[in-house]
Structure 1
Amino acid sequence: MTTTLITGANKGLGLETARRLVAAGHTVYVGARDAERGRKAAEGIGARFVRIDVTDEASVVAATKAIEADGGLDVLVNNAGIEPRTADGGFVPLAEVTAESVRTVFETNVFGQVRMLHAFLPLLERSAAPVVVNVSSGVSLMRELVDPESPSHFYPDIAYPSSKAAVNMLTVQYSKAFPKVRINAVDPGFTSTDLNFHAGVQTVEQGAEIIVRMAQIGTDGPTGGFFEAAGTIPW
C-alpha cells in the first residue's frame, strides 16, 4: 500500500487531495500545524494525522520519525503555502512590501519545502516507487507575467510569484540529484481557497486533479517537470 504525506492538508487543495488519495487506496497522513483541525480533517476522510509545521525544524523532524516508525513513506506532497494579502483580501501595495514580509512568504513556500525534502528524502529513497509533488503556480512563470495578453499579467505581488519560481528551481535541481525519486511541480490553476480569499475560478476538486494525478505516477513516470491538468507546462 502506498503511504502519502500531504502538508497543509486540513483544508482546501490539501484536504481534497488527501480525500482523493484515500479513495484511491493510499494510506494518507494529513499534515497540519493545528492539531485539532488536523485531526478533525483526517478523521473526516479516513486518513491519519501528523502535526507538522514546515517552518519549524523540530516539528518536521518529529513528523519524520513518527512516519518512519509507522513504516515509511512513498509519496510527499509539498502543498503548504501562503500568499500575502491585506485583511480585506487585497494585494499589499509594493511600496509597503518589506524584506521581512517577503522572508515570511519564503519561509513557508520555499524554505519549508527545502526543510521537508531534506528531512524526508532519505525516507523516500527506501521506497520502491518514491514520488514528490511540489505545488507551484502559474504565476511562477515570468513569460506569463510580462505578457499583457496573459491572465497572470495583472498579478501585482512579488513575494508569492518569486517564491513559486524558486519552487520550480528546487524541483529541477532536486530531480537531478535524486534520480530514483520522481520529483515534479504542479500548477493547480486559479482555485477558490482560503489562500486567495476564495477569488479563484476553479473548485478544489478541479484544482486537486493534477496534484492527485502526479502523486500516483509510477517509476516510469516523468521527473523534473511542471504540469497542469491540461498537460506539461514548458519551463
Structure 2
Amino acid sequence: MTSKTLVLVTGGNQGLGYFAIQQLSTTDDYHILMGSRDFEKAEKAIQTLSDDKSIKANPANVKPIHIDTSSDESIQAAAKAVEDKYGRLDILMVNAGISHAPGTTREHYRQVFDTNVFGQAVTVEAFLPLLRKSTASGGKRIAFTSSDLGSLRWALESKGLYSGVNFPNYRSSKTAVNMVMVHYARLLEDEGFIVGASNPDLNLRHQSIMCQYLGSGYCATNLDAYGGAKDPREGAKVLIKAATDSKESVDGLVVDETGSQPW
C-alpha cells in the first residue's frame, strides 16, 4: 500500500513515458508503476534513473510492472497485480504505442491499431475498477497519449510532412484514440473522472516555419528513430499536463503546450 498518488504509465521504460516518469519521480507526491512489456527493460530503465546524476529523479518512487498492451492476458495480470498490492489506482497514463509494423497493408493497420487503440481501450477497462476506488484529491484520472497527426483538420489543411498524405496507419490510430478518449470522458464524468489526451509534439501552428529548418515537429524517440526535432523531455511535460491539470483544462480535450488542438 502507499499513501502517495498511485500512477501507472504504460510504455514507461523508454521514450516519452520514461521522461514523464523521470519528471514525476522528482517529487514525493507520486508512487509510479513503470509499465513495460519487458520487465527487465523496466528494471534497467529505473537503474538509469538512479545513475543519472544530472536530474533529481528519485528511483525509490518508481517500481516496474509487466504489461504488454497487445495481450489481454498481460493486461489482466497487471491489473490483478496492482489490485493485490495496492487495492486502487489514481492515475492511468495510457501511453504505450507503435508507429509502424511490417507486412501487408492489412497487417500494418491491424498491428498499429491493436497496440495503439484496442490495447488502450482494453487497458482502461481492466483498470477501471481500481480507478473507481481512488480517493485522490485531484480526481480519478485517465490520460491518453495522442498526437497532432490525429487531427483531421490539420491533416486536411497542412502541407509537407504533416499533410494527410503521410503516415496513414499511425495517424488514423491516433484519431481513433481521440474518440476513445472522448467516449470515456463523457461516460465517466458523473463519477468524478477527468479524462484527456496529450499532443506532445511541437505545436503544428508553427510547423510551416520550423519544418523548413528542423525536418519535423515530433519528439525524438524510438518511434521515429530519434529523428524528431523536439526534446522528448519537453514532450513528456505535456503527458503530465494531461494527467494532472484541472478538469477545465484537459477533460475531453487533446492538449498541447499552449492549449487544445482542433479535431
Paired AA for residue 19 in structure 2? E
Structure having the higher helix fraction is 2
**When the two structures are aligned, how many residues end up with a matched partner?**
226
Superposed CA deviations along residues 87-146 of structure 1, whole A, max 9, x for unmatched, are xxxxxxxxx851122100000000010110110111111112211110001010121112
SS in 1 for 2:157: coil
Q: Which residue of 2 aligns with 1:119?
A: 126
Unaligned segments of structure 1, at least 5 residues: 87-95
Task: Work out which of the residue numbers 45, 60, 63 in structure 2 matches 1:48.
Answer: 63
Q: Which residue of 2 aligns with 1:92?
A: none
- Cα deviation for residue 149 of structure 1 reads 4.2
- The answer as to 2:230 corresponding to 1:202 is yes
> More displaced, 142-151 or 20-29?
142-151
Paired with 2:159 and 2:166, the residues of 1 have a C-alpha distance of 15
Q: Which residue of 2 aligns with 1:75?
A: 91
Given that 1:185 and 1:226 are in contact with CA atoms closer than 8 Å, whether structure 2 keeps it comes out as yes
Task: Work out which of the residue numbers 204, 215, 224 in structure 1 matches 2:252.
Answer: 224
TM-score norm. by structure 1 comes to: 0.90
- Pair 150,210 (structure 1): closer, same or farther in 2 beyond 3 Å: farther
- Cα deviation for residue 218 of structure 1 reads 5.1
- Cα deviation for residue 43 of structure 1 reads 3.9
**Superposed CA RMSD:** 1.8
Q: Which residue of 2 aligns with 1:170?
A: 180
Q: Which residue of 2 aligns with 1:31?
A: 35
- The answer as to 2:219 corresponding to 1:191 is yes
Superposed CA deviations along residues 124-177 of structure 1, whole A, max 9, x for unmatched, are 111122111100010101211122447511751211011000000001111111
- Pair 156,234 (structure 1): closer, same or farther in 2 beyond 3 Å: closer
TM-score norm. by structure 2 comes to: 0.81
Unaligned segments of structure 2, at least 5 residues: 50-58, 202-217
Paired with 2:79 and 2:249, the residues of 1 have a C-alpha distance of 25
Q: Which residue of 2 aligns with 1:64?
A: 79
